[in-house]
Amino acid sequence: MNNRLVLGIETSCDETAASVILEGTTVLSNIVASQVEIHSEYGGIVPEIASRKHVEAIHAVINSALSSAGIGFGELDAIAVTQGPGLVGSLIVGFSYAKAAAIAGDKPLTGVNHIHAHMLSVFLDAEKRPRFPFVGLVVSGGHTSLYLVRGFLNAELLGQTRDDAAGEAFDKVAKILGLPYPGGPIIGHLAQKGSRNRFPFPRAWLPTTPFDFSFSGLKTSVLQQVRKIEHSGQDIPVEDICASFEEAVIDVLVQKTLAAARQKGVQDVAIVGGVASNRHLRQTMLVKAKAEGLRCFFPNKEFCTDNAAMVAYTGYHQLKAGITLGPDADVYSRLPL
Ligand code: KG4
Ligand code: ZN
């Protein structure tokens, strides 16, 4: 199978994205149409609005990915599309488009797991790539999971969140503080000016399942603290709350990732997903990993949040292994890696 030019399509949440990659190495185009302004009015993603906006945007986004790459549809060798996990109404838009395009153009189609794609996004920087096996932390708005990654198509789940994802905790705490959606970037920004130890928010270490996560208790603790300050009639120290909250999340993410690396005896760790664009997480992880003699890898920021280059890249490896979909394939709201 010739997979020289692969088109990736991603519509699992609120970003309509398409990308063309060449020879499984070079990203020729990476187009992302974000709906964030529409959903921020509601303080979070409204699934029905998300799928309607994908319907409106998908054709233009794909055309734009092809024209930025300087190629026509006929030149594509294969199509890769996100099959799950995600919002079903959103997934169906990209998936149906991909299926129809693959049938009409007589091109192979492969279905990509969104978490898998986030994991492999760390390989989109050709100059700084981890070596297998490595410990990978996927940390986004929908997922917080640790994996032992043995190969491009081989990952073992070590642990995952029992309740909220870390990005979801950022978004919920932002809502409590009256900050806009999504909360991660704005909290990260305000935290830079705050005290990281003013509020000792709880960390869920979960000693019996040390690679699992839990962030709902932390979110509740922030809510209680904010209410207490409101009742006392004082101003909410937003920057200190952001900094202390961010510190609690990052402390847990970093410690658990390092503990997994130690236990599995790997030399490399990778942190991927929307929260991996957090500056304080990147700095803390780099310093602590170095102190333990580990190498730490992050995707470039454009590949941390949802994009289709990571889908095309993962699809490239699946196609190389002969993994394709038939015309009766479906999408999945839950899809384990
Ligand atoms: O990977 P992503 O775009 O979508 C999912 O697959 O969920 O991640 C989005 C999440 C949101 O929860 C957002 O608040 C969070 O990533 N995020 C951040 C930062 N940038 C985005 N969280 C913390 N710090 C950031 N700088
Ligand atoms: Zn994602």
Could you tell me the domains of the chain? 5-119+304-320 (3.30.420.40), 130-298 (3.30.420.40)
Which long-range CB contacts under 8 A does 219-228 form with residues at least 24 apart? 219/164, 219/169, 219/172, 219/173, 219/176, 222/173, 222/176, 223/176, 225/199, 225/201, 226/176, 226/177
Report the pLDDT averaged over residues 32-52.
91
CA-nearest of 114, 43, 40, 35 to 80 is: 114
Give the Cα-Cα-Cα angle 77, 83, 85 (nearest 5 degrees): 145
Distance from the CA of 165 to the center of ligand 1, in angstroms?
10
Q: Which atom of ligand 1 is nearest to the CA of 279?
A: 26
**Any ligand 1 atom below 6 A from CB of 184:** yes
**What pLDDT, on a 0 to 100 scale, did the predictor assign at position 127?**
84
Q: Is residue 13 in contact with ligand 1, taking CB distance under 6 Å?
A: yes
Widest distance between CA atoms in the chain: 68
247 lines ligand 1 (CB under 6 A): no
Taking the alpha carbons of 268, 274, 277, 281 in that order, is the dihedral positive or negative? negative
Task: Give distance in angstroms: CA of 75 to centre of ligand 1.
Answer: 34
pLDDT at 44: 85
Q: pLDDT band at residue 175, thresholds of 50, 70 and 90?
A: very high
Give the amino acid at 274. Answer: G
Ligand 1 pocket residue status of 167, Cβ below 6 Å? yes
Ligand closest to Cα of 45 equals 1
Predicted pLDDT of residue 246: 98
> Is 90 exceeded by the pLDDT of residue 32?
yes
Pocket test for ligand 1, best of 140, 168, 189 (most atoms within 8 A of CB): 140
Mean pLDDT of the chain: 97
Q: What is the pLDDT of residues 93-118, one digit of tens each?
A: 999 999 999 999 999 999 999 999 99
Does 183 contact ligand 1 (Cβ within 6 A)? Answer: yes
User: Is the pLDDT at 34 greater than 70, yes or no?
Assistant: yes
pLDDT tens digits for 246-298? 999 999 999 999 999 999 999 999 999 999 999 999 999 999 999 999 999 99
- As a whole-number percent, the residues of the chain with pLDDT over 70 amount to 100
User: Is 185 close to ligand 1, i.e. is its CB under 6 Å away?
Assistant: yes
What is the whole-number distance in angstroms between the Cα of residue 30 and the centre of ligand 1? Answer: 18
Of 54, 50, 70, 69, the C-alpha closest to 17 is 54
Percent helix, strand, coil in the chain, to 5, is 45, 20, 35
Assess whether the C-beta atom of 182 lies below 6 angstroms from ligand 1: yes
pTM for the structure as a whole: 0.96
Atom of ligand 1 lying closest to residue 86 CA: 6
Using pLDDT thresholds of 50, 70 and 90, give the confidence band for residue 1: low
Per residue in 197-240, pLDDT tens?
Answer: 999 999 999 999 999 999 999 999 999 999 999 999 999 999 99
How does strand 109-113 pair with strand 5-10? unpaired
- How far does the centroid of ligand 2 lie from the alpha carbon of residue 194, in Å? 28
Instruction: Specify the higher pLDDT residue, 227 or 35.
Output: 227
Which alpha helices (H) appear in 112-237, and where do they start and end?
Answer: 114-120, 166-176, 183-191, 216-231
